[in-house]
Amino acid sequence: MNKKNRLFIILVVIFPLLVSFKNGFDSRSDYSFYTSPEGILFSSNTKSWNEKKLRSLYDELVKNQYGEEIHSLEEIHVFGEPLGTTHTKGSYNSFTHTISLFHASKYTKISDYTETLSHEYGHHFAYTHFPAHHFPFSNWIRIRDIDSYTIRWDAFWNYRESHHSLYPQEIFADDYVLLYGPKKKTAVEDIYSNEAFYLRTEHENQKISNALENEELHAFLANKTGILVDKERLLKKPIFEAYLDSLLSFQVSAKKNVAYRLNLTVYHSSDHQDNYELYMITKNDEDSQLTFPLNNHKLVNIADATSITFNVDVVDLSTSFGLHSDTWTLHL
């Protein structure tokens, strides 16, 4: 092993936490405390978060699926102030097994921290059960089906918020949110207002493979932790199948109550373009093909079209989990 590789491994072993995990608060003046049945200390340094709200924060935490690792979580601390000059809402320290939540003077509702709390607990879950997940040669990165050259391994010494979605630690934590985090239902009316697509729970990195359809990953996690991935969560990324007789067809999950929004741009020979949004909600668990008709002139004008560009946004009404498809271009 050459000197450069030895140095890399030493850095990874000695510093198994992101720079963003460091909260930088050496002195604390806490107003409120709550200790959970598992012995987790919940503390707050802002009057906006009293003991009653800390109890509710615990109730929110245990909406996540968890195992024995919850007993090694030491503390969840709520800070009224930000983490330095960042917009970070949460961080996890793998040395002290603590979660820190920031901006709590601004964010005063439990729901403001639902995804953040789940994501940070995902770090705890990862470092407890899969402490080598941040290595480029870990079993997790292989089963996760991610090209190691498309993500960044320098978080320990060159952390940047702009690269947040590219760090393996953050990918794992977002996987946890989707595979084990809280589910909630989405109202149908929120589809047509587009609110559901803006508020859905989705992976920060939409360019890597979809964790919700990686059943080898689900089995790998379950075999190690004993926690099964609920089949209700499974959701496939749409795959473009064909354009025939003005019909756009896609392969999708054979699953009811999944909403799809086709984002379509039509380029015309007259050098102008039209943008459209078309909606579909699946009605059964049998049909794995989704078709959008483009021949309804009341909805879409493809007269004299030279090409179209399109992609599909997805949200599962039973879980509020969603994703974004690839983008395709067809010359007509």
Strands 75-78 and 41-44: parallel
Query: What count of residues does the chain have?
Result: 332
Identical fold, 16-182 and 183-332: no
Q: Is 97 left (phi over 0), alpha (psi -120 to 50) or beta?
A: left
Within its chain, how far is the Cα of 204 from the centroid?
A: 5
Residue whose token pair is 């079209």: 305
Domain ranges of the chain: 16-182, 183-332
Please give the full DSSP string across 39-96, using - where no structure is assigned: --EEEESSTTS-HHHHHHHHHHHTTS---GGGGG--EEEE-SS-STT----EEEETTT
Indicate the pTM of the whole model: 0.89
The predicted pLDDT at position 147 comes to: 82
**112: three-class secondary structure by DSSP:** helix
Strands 75-78 and 98-101: parallel
Burial class for 245, CB neighbours closer than 10 Å (0-12, 13-18, 19+): exposed
Residue type for position 17: L
Q: Which fold has domain 183-332?
A: Immunoglobulin-like (2.60.40)
pLDDT averaged per 10 residues in sequence order, the chain, 332 residues: 47 44 53 96 95 98 98 97 89 96 96 97 98 91 87 74 87 98 96 96 95 97 97 96 95 97 94 94 94 86 91 98 97 92
Picking from 83, 97, 94, 77, the residue whose alpha carbon sits closest to that of residue 23 is 83
Within its chain, how far is the Cα of 196 from the centroid?
A: 15
Question: Candidates 3.40.30, 2.20.28, 1.10.10, 2.40.160; correct CATH number of 16-182?
Answer: 3.40.30
The predicted pLDDT at position 271 comes to: 85
The predicted pLDDT at position 156 comes to: 67
